[in-house]
Structures are given as structure tokens and as C-alpha cells.
Structure 1
Amino acid sequence: MSEERSHGQGAAPGTAALPMREALITAALQLFLERGFEQTTVDDIVTLAGVGRRSFFRYFPSKEDVLFPDHERCLAEMTDFLSTGSHDDDPVGQVCDAARLVLRMYADSPTFSVHRYRLTKQVPGLRTHELSVVWRYERVLAGHLRERFTDRPDGTLRADVIAAAVVAAHNHALRSWLRSGGQGDVITSVDEALEFVTTSWGQGRVPTDAPPQELDDVMVVIAKRRVPMWRLVREIETTLDRD
């Protein structure tokens, strides 16, 4: 028999009917949870999945990648989403919407997401791999914002800070959900976290960098009805001169 064995021969129950890629993911997760990540080999995974060794590396460059199977697709979707957006849209709102594409990937597979989170907490190599993926998401967001902020002297700094804020807000809500075992409404939690970013940095925020007089230059005058207007104006002018 060739190295590329018939899919399903020798496979564990539950994997034989799955497409090859999904069978590899299912087998890997099962073994990682039963034996531990370090104790599981690629040969163990392909044996349980009932496929040949070359099949594994056709889909995944490394053992770590089998736990992050959809990130490349999600990165491509995010890049495409940002490139096709309108320049009339709020750029901060755009990158927040792009982050929601990542959330959907986690929310669509809650059990897998929770197991992966627990494994990454236990295995330093997986944690390092996860951080490298997060950094790539952040770079995509920052690159888009830099293009949108080219007319600002602080454009590069603003882009990097906002991209980091989007990732931090998204991950804050997502990890709270993962720590809970996938309980609760993660979509609402992430929406609330990203709303904080748009309120702080988006086009609709209060312009706190404006000069103080543009924000609070309002005077309320209380006067008796019979006071002559000329006297009232003079008193107002005198008060403004003192300020």
C-alpha cells in the first residue's frame, strides 16, 4: 500500500467520516488532551486519524499549527475585508469590524476554542505560537490604519496604538469567555470592549484634544428684568476681562 493510505483505515471512531483535514485536527486534539502536547508525535496523530504522514504536512507545517487551523484563512479574510472597505467609513470602526471576524472563528467552535486555550496555558511553545499569530493580526490592522492616517503627522503612532487597543480589547473579552469554559454571550462582551475603543478613538468621540475654550466657553447670565441692557453688557465685559 502506498504511504497515502485510504482515509479511515485504522482511524479512531469519530474520525473516519470526517474530511482528512478535520480528521487530523480531531485526532490531534484528542491526543493532546489525553497524553499531553509534548508527548504526542505527528506519527501518533496520523495513526489515530487513519491517514499517511505526508497528509499531515500537506495541511499543517508543524504540530503547533494543527491547533490553530483557521488563522491563515482568517488573516486572509481580514485583509480582504479591510482592502474592500470605503474610505468614507470610520477607520477605527473598520478595524473593530475586522476583529469581529476573528471572534467568529472562536465562537463557531466553542469546545475546540476552550480546549485550545487550556492547552496554550500549559505549554509554553503553544503560547509563543499563539502570540506570533496575534502579532500578525495586529500588524494587518496597523497597516490599514497607517494608510488611512497618512495625512496626520502622528499617523504612524496613532495607527499602532489603535491597532494594539483593538487587539487588547478583543482579547480581554475573549479570554474572559474562554476562562469561563465558553459560558455566556461572548459576542456581546467583545462588542462592549470594542465600543470602548471606538468611543476613545473613533470619529464620534469627544475631541478632548481641543482647546478648553472650545469645550466649555459658555456663560449663563442671571439678571433682574428691569436692568438696562447697556449695564448688563458692561458687567459681562468686565467679568470676561477679569477671566
Structure 2
Amino acid sequence: MTEDRRPAKKPPMRDVLAEAAFALFMERGFERTTVDDIVASAGVGRRSFFRYFPSKEDAVFPDHERCLAEMTAFLDTAGDGDPVDTVCDAARLVFRMYAEKPEFSVQRYRLTREVPGLRTYELSVVRRYERTMAGYLERRWGDTPDAALRAEVIAAAVVAAHNNGLRSWLRSGGRGDAGAEVDRALELVRSLWGAAAERPLPPVAEEDVIVMIAPKGAPMWRVVQRIEAAIGEEEAVAER
């Protein structure tokens, strides 16, 4: 049997930089690690780092851009199935990204709890997923009344449910069946919104408006007294 003498395939430079960065973040702390430290550890120049990552924060989340692109492609090619089911399936793409590297995901979760700037950055990434799902829902419902409102509310519910299940798994150190936790959380969204998503919303109640003119310099107690008197007259008329 002939021995395979082909050289091992090198990992992509983006992965090399991300791994070097994260190792330093865990060793020295995020704030004390510089871009120069990262490129020195990876054995490349600063230009190489900024070719792949605009900032140190981006190196902590190297896989979100890919996942967001996958979600966008998934929603763009989704069929005519239930829209709520579809966005729940899209959320599972994010979970699978975390589950592919459980140890890294748990360490990153702990790091983001310690560094407020990373938490803020993470929230901005989550918001991008939410907007992508809301955009899909709004397109699916087209001219349906309140399509934009429904889309925003349901996308936010899907993200909240997914994150609840994911955080439970991350807090446990990556133990247990994370997929079951996420499925359970998303099933709640399906049960609440699946059938109700296209029902007509109740009309907005019209409120009576009272317009009152008061002399300049009138004491506040007098203004309040007149408003209360006007409200009392309205209630008296309504009771007749």
C-alpha cells in the first residue's frame, strides 16, 4: 500500500487568525491583547489581520458572517411552507454553528459575559439575524394588514426562544442535549404564532381628545381643575 506523502492541507488564514486571537484573549484577557499580539502569534502581518477582520471584536465572532449568509440563502430559497416554521428552521442554522464547536462556544460565552463591549457587539449580530428573519416574513405576507408588525414581533419571538435554549446549554458548560432545549423553545413559538400569525388583529380603539385653552400664567391647579371638569362632563353624557 502506497503511503500518502501529500502535505497536510493548511487551515484557512481566517481560521488561523481567529484561533490565535481567541487563545490570547483567554490567556491575557480581551482588553490586554492587541492586534500586534495576534498577528505575531499567527506569524503574519497586520495587513493580513485587517483583510479578514475589521476589529478585535470581529475575531471573537468569526463564524457569524458565514452563518448569516447561510440563513439569507436558506430563506431566499424557502418554499411555500408555513412562514413561522421556516424562520424557526432558519434559527436552527445559528444553533448548529454553535454546536459544531462546543468548547469554543462555551469559552466565547464566558468571555462575552466578562467584556461589556463584546456583549454589545454580540447583541448587534443577533439583531442582524432578527432583521433577516423579519424581512423574510414581511415578504411572505406581502400586503397582509400589519405585515411589518407581525414580522417584527414573530422574528423577535423566534430569536428570544432560540437564545433561551442556547444560553441554557452554554451555561451548563455545553453538557446535555442542546438541540432538545432549542427545539422545545422554538415549539413554544410555533404553538403561539403558527396558526395566529395571519389572523386579523383587533382594531385600534379610537381615543377621545380634549382640547383646552387656558390663559397664559394660569396656575397649574386651575388647568387640572378644568381638565377634570371636562372629563366629568364627557362621562356624564356617555352615561345618559
* TM-score of the aligned structures, taking structure 1 as reference length: 0.75
In the aligned structure 2, how far is the partner of 1:80 from the partner of 1:138? 15
Deviations 1:77-132 (A, max 9, x none): 1111111111x300000000000111110000111111111111010110110000
**More displaced 10-residue stretch of structure 1: 34-43 or 20-29:** 20-29
In the aligned structure 1, how far is the partner of 2:187 from the partner of 2:88? 9
Unaligned runs of 5+ residues in structure 1 are 1-16, 211-243
Q: Does structure 2 conserve the Cα–Cα contact (< 8 Å) formed by 1:90 and 1:203?
A: no
1:213 paired residue number: none
* 1:156 alignment partner, SS class: helix
- Is it true that 1:97 corresponds to 2:97 in the alignment? no
Q: Structure 2 counterpart of 1:175, which letter?
A: R
| Aligned with residue 15 of structure 2, among 13, 19, 22 | 22
| Aligned with residue 77 of structure 2, among 80, 84, 90 | 84
Q: Structure 2 counterpart of 1:143, which letter?
A: G
| Aligned with residue 109 of structure 1, among 101, 104, 126 | 101
In the aligned structure 2, how far is the partner of 1:131 from the partner of 1:106? 16
| Aligned with residue 72 of structure 1, among 62, 65, 73 | 65
1:62 paired residue number: 55
Residue identity over aligned pairs, in percent, reads 69
1:128 paired residue number: 120
- Is it true that 1:138 corresponds to 2:119 in the alignment? no
Q: How do 1:164-175 and structure 2 match up within 5 A?
A: 164-175=156-167
In the aligned structure 2, how far is the partner of 1:26 from the partner of 1:155? 42
Q: Structure 2 counterpart of 1:159, which letter?
A: A
In the aligned structure 1, how far is the partner of 2:140 from the partner of 2:56? 38
- Is it true that 1:156 corresponds to 2:145 in the alignment? no
Q: Report the count of equivalent residues.
A: 192
| Aligned with residue 177 of structure 1, among 122, 144, 169 | 169
Unaligned runs of 5+ residues in structure 2 are 1-9, 203-240
Q: Structure 2 counterpart of 1:105, which letter?
A: M
Q: Does structure 2 conserve the Cα–Cα contact (< 8 Å) formed by 1:21 and 1:59?
A: yes
In the aligned structure 1, how far is the partner of 2:55 from the partner of 2:191? 40
* 2:70 alignment partner, SS class: helix
- Is it true that 1:200 corresponds to 2:220 in the alignment? no
In the aligned structure 2, how far is the partner of 1:20 from the partner of 1:56? 9
Q: Alpha carbons of 1:61 and 1:165: their partners in 2 closer, same or farther (altered >3 Å)?
A: same
Structure 1 residue 18: deviation in Å?
4.0
Structure 1 residue 49: deviation in Å?
1.1
2:6 paired residue number: none
* 1:38 alignment partner, SS class: coil
Q: Structure 2 counterpart of 1:48, which letter?
A: S
CA RMSD of aligned residues (A): 1.9
Return structure 1 stretches of 4+ with deviation > 4 angstroms.
none
Q: Structure 1 counterpart of 2:151, which letter?
A: A
Q: Structure 1 counterpart of 2:110, which letter?
A: R
Structure 1 residue 204: deviation in Å?
8.5
